Chains A and B, each alone.
Chain A
Amino acid sequence: MAWEFLTVYWREMIRFVRFRTQLFSSLLQPALWMAFFGVAMSANFNRFTATIPVPPGTIPVDYLTFMAAGMIAMTSLFTSLFGGMSLLFDKNWGLMREMLASPMPRTHIMLGVSLSGITKSFIQVVIIMAFGLILGVEFFPGYSPARIAVSILGILTFVGVFSLGFLLFSSNISMRLESPEGLQGIITLLTMPLFFVSNALYPIQAFPPFLQTLSAYNPLTHLVNGIRYFALGSEFFAVGAEYSYTPADILLSFSYLLVFAAVMYILARQAFQRAVVT
Chain B
Amino acid sequence: MSNFAIIRIRRGEKKIWTFYMKVLLRAGRRTGRHLMREDNIIEVRDLEHSFGEIQAVRSVSFSVRKGEIFSFLGPNGAGKSTTINVLTTLLPIQKGTVRVAGYDLAREPERVRESIGIVFQDEVLDRDLTVWETMEFHGRLYSIPRDERRQRIDDMLAVVELEAKRDVRTKHLSGGMKRRLEIARGLMTRPEVLFLDEPTQGLDPQTRLRMWDYIRQVNAAGTTIFLTTHYMDEADMLSDRISIIDHGRIVVTGTPEELKDALGEDVIYLETVDDARAEEAIQGIDEIRSITESPRGLSITISTDGSHCLPRIVELVRGAGIDIVSANLKKPTMDDVFVHYTGRELRDMGG
1/0 contact trace for B136-150 toward A, CB 8 Å? 011011110000000
Contact of A278 among B81, B118, B128 (CB under 8 A): B81
Q: CA–CA, A278 to B82, complex, Å? A: 8
Q: Interface range on chain A: under 10, 10 to 19, 20 to 34, or 35 or more? A: 20 to 34
Interface stretch, picked from A76-84, A97-105, A156-164, A256-264, is: A97-105
- Note all chain B residues with C-beta closer than 8 A to A147: none
Interface stretch, picked from B89-97, B246-254, B296-304, is: B89-97
Which residues of B125-173 have CB atoms within 8 Å of chain A's CB atoms?
125-129, 133, 137-138, 140-143
Contact of A11 among B85, B89, B129 (CB under 8 A): B129
B120 within 8 A of A: yes
A4 within 8 A of B: yes
- Note all chain B residues with C-beta closer than 8 A to A95: 124-126, 137
CB pair B85 A278 closer than 8 Å: yes
Q: CA–CA, A104 to B89, complex, Å? A: 13
Distance (whole angstroms) from the CB of A94 to the closest CB of chain B = 6
CB pair A97 B141 closer than 8 Å: no
CB pair A7 B85 closer than 8 Å: no
Interface stretch, picked from A12-20, A119-127, A234-242, is: A12-20
Among A11, A18, A100, residue most surrounded by chain B Cβ atoms (within 10 Å) = A11
Q: CA–CA, A88 to B70, complex, Å? A: 34
Which residues of A231-278 have CB atoms within 8 Å of chain B's CB atoms?
276-278
CB pair B89 A101 closer than 8 Å: yes
Query: Beyond A101-B88, A103-B114, is A11–B126 a contact (Cβ under 8 Å)?
Result: yes
- Note all chain A residues with C-beta closer than 8 A to B90: 97, 100-101, 276-278
Q: CA–CA, A276 to B89, complex, Å? A: 10
Q: CA–CA, A276 to B140, complex, Å? A: 22
A192 within 8 A of B: no
Distance (whole angstroms) from the CB of A4 to the closest CB of chain B = 6
Contact of B91 among A11, A94, A98, A276 (CB under 8 A): A276
Which residues of B226-242 have CB atoms within 8 Å of chain A's CB atoms?
none
Q: CA–CA, A93 to B120, complex, Å? A: 12
CB pair A14 B138 closer than 8 Å: no
B104 within 8 A of A: no
A1 within 8 A of B: yes
Residue on B nearest A275 in the bound complex, by CB: B90
CB pair A14 B133 closer than 8 Å: yes
CB pair B113 A10 closer than 8 Å: no
Residue on B nearest A98 in the bound complex, by CB: B124
21 residue pairs from A and B, CB less than 8 Å apart? A4-B140, A6-B140, A7-B141, A11-B129, A11-B133, A11-B137, A15-B129, A19-B128, A95-B124, A95-B126, A97-B124, A98-B120, A99-B141, A101-B88, A103-B114, A103-B142, A104-B143, A276-B90, A278-B82, A278-B85, A278-B90
